[in-house]
Structure 1
Amino acid sequence: MSAAFSAAVAFSPPLPRPLLSCRSTVLLHHRRRVVLARRLNRLSSFRKCHLCRCRCPGLNLYAAGTITCNQVKMGDNVDDETCELVSGIDLTIGDEQDSIRAYLLKAVKNNNGTGVLLLSDIFGFEDSSTRDFAYRVACNGYNVLVPDLFRGNPWKKGQPFTEFEQWLTRHPPSMVAKDIDASTKWLIDEFAAAGISKKLGIIGFCYGGGKLVETLARDRQAHFGTGVCFYASGVDTSLAKDLRVPILFISGDKEDDVCPVNRLREMEKCIDGSRVVVYYGRGNGFVHRPDSQEEDGDAEDAFAITRSWLHDILIASKNLVL
C-alpha cells in the first residue's frame, strides 16, 4: 500500500461535534430527516453512529469523512452485525491529462483487507443512496471504491427521458470501460498487489450491473473473485462464456424490460457457482433506493444475502489452509 495512502488513513485529528446521529449500521450521508426516519425504522439491529467531517492530507483528495460507531447493548436474540470505524476520502484516479474522481470508503477497525469496486447506476457516484449502500458495505470491513463513471455528468433525476439517448452518447462504452479498468488497477495497486487482498469484489447497480458483467468478462488476470449484480440493465448474455467467477444476481420482476429475469437465468446456468435471487413484485432500485416499508424488508434481506456472499467467497475462502 502506498505511503501517501497509509499516512492519510493513519491521520486521526480530534473529532468535531457530530453532525448526524443514527441507530444503525447504515451510515447515512446528507439525507433528509424524513428519509432518515423511514430507513431507520426498518433496521433489525441498532447502533449509535456519529458522522463527522475532517481533513486529511495527500491522495489529491477533496475532503475526508470519518464515521465512528459505538455499539449499544442489545438482547441475545439480536444478530450482532459488526459496526466499524469507516473513513471516507475523495480522490482522483489517473494523471493530470486524464483523470476521474472517485470516493473510497475504508473500514479502519478490523479491516478485512479486501477491496470492492462499486459501479453506480446512471445517477452517479455522488448519489446519496449509492453512497449509503457503499458505507454499509465498508462498515462490514471492506475497502469500497466508487468511481465517477460519468465524469461529472450523471443522469439527473427529473430530466426528460427523451434526452436519455443523447446523454448516453456522451459516455461511450470504451471510455467507461477505460475508467473502470483504471479504478480496478488502483484497487490492485493499493490492496491486491500489496498482498493485503487476495481477490477483489465488484458490485453493480442497474447500468453499473451491466458494466460489471463486461468488466468480469475482460478480467483475464483474474483479479476479481466474485460480483454482486443488482437489477442489471443491458446484460450481454454472450459474455457468459468469458466469465470465470461466480456472480450473485439480485433483481425484481416488476420491470422485466429493464432487467429480464430469464436473461439472468441464462447467465446462472452458464457460470459455475452463480445464483439468481428474484424478489417478486419489486422493481428497479428497490435494494439501494427502497420506496416503501415492504421494499425496505426485501432490501434488508437482499443486503444480508450480499454480505454472506461476499464473506463466503472473498473472506472465508481466503482464510482456508490448503
Structure 2
Amino acid sequence: MSAADFVLIDDRLVPAAEACVPVSDRGFLYGDAVYETLRAYGGRPFQLPAHLERLARSAAAIYLRLPWPPAELAARLARLLAANRIDAGRVRITITRGAGDLRARPEALGPPRLVMTAEPLRPLPDAAYALGVPVEIAQRPRNLPGALDPAIKSGNLLNTLLARFEMRDPASYEVIMLNHQGELGEASLANLFLVDAAGVLRTPALASGILAGITRGLVLALAREADYAVREDSLPPSALLSAREAFLTASTIEILPIASVDGQPLPAAAGPVTRALQARYRARVAAELRLHPESETPPGEGRGR
C-alpha cells in the first residue's frame, strides 16, 4: 500500500479507494463545511493547536457545533498519520454539517461529519525558493466580509477558484486579490507580505478582509522578534508594484518569494529580508518539533495556510 492509502471518516480509518461521503452531505451539495490545511514534518503536524483554534472559530461563525474536543481531533489525526506512514505531509481536516434539508435551521441539522486526509507533499522546485515565483493581480475582487467573510475557512472556495481560473498568464503561480475597496487583500491560497523602499515589512491588515493565516501570524511574530519594522495596514496595489521584496505565506509553502507582479520583476526577489525570515521560520519548525536536520523536508511542498 502507498503512503496515503487511508482516509479517516468520523472515527474510522477507511482505505482511500473506498472512502466516500453520502450524496446528501451538505458539504458536497452546498460547500456547507469548514476545513484546515496544515503541514507535517517528521510525521508530526506543525502548529496544530492554532489550526484547531481557527477551525473552531470558523465553525462557530457558520453556526456549526463541533462535538469533538481539540484533543480528540489531535488523537484521530495522529492515528491517520501513523497509518499512512507520513513523514513530510499535507494534512486536511474537513468538517461538514452532515445531511439535512436545505431549509432546516442549524440546530435541527447534524450530526456533523469529520474527514481527515494525510498525503505526501508535492515539492516545488528549489528554484522557486531561490528565485521566486510570478504572480498577477486578480481581476475578480475578494468576497465582501459582510457576505461571506474571508476570515471563515469555509468549504466554499468559488471566489478564489474563479480568480485563479481567470489568471491571464498561464505561468503565474498565484493571483493577488483586492478587497471591495480596491486595496491589496491576499492571494487565492496564501497571505501576502512585502518590503517597501524604506525596508518596512508590510502586510494587509485583517480588517482588509483576509484570512488570519497561521503562517502569517508566525511570520509577524518572527519578524518582531528580529526587530524588523512591521506594519499591518491598508495597502494599495501600487505598494506591491513598487516593493523591493514580496513573498507569500502558507502552512505548506512556508515563505515563498515573489519574483514578479504582472510581469514586472521586483528589484530584490528572494531578497535579504525574505531569506532571513525563511531561515528563522525553518529554525522555529525544527525547535518546536525537535527535528534533526536529516528529518527536515524540502521547503516548498503543497499549499494551504
Q: TM-score range by the shorter chain?
A: under 0.3
TM-score under structure 2 length normalisation: 0.27
Which of the pair is proportionally richer in strand?
A: 2
TM-score under structure 1 length normalisation: 0.26
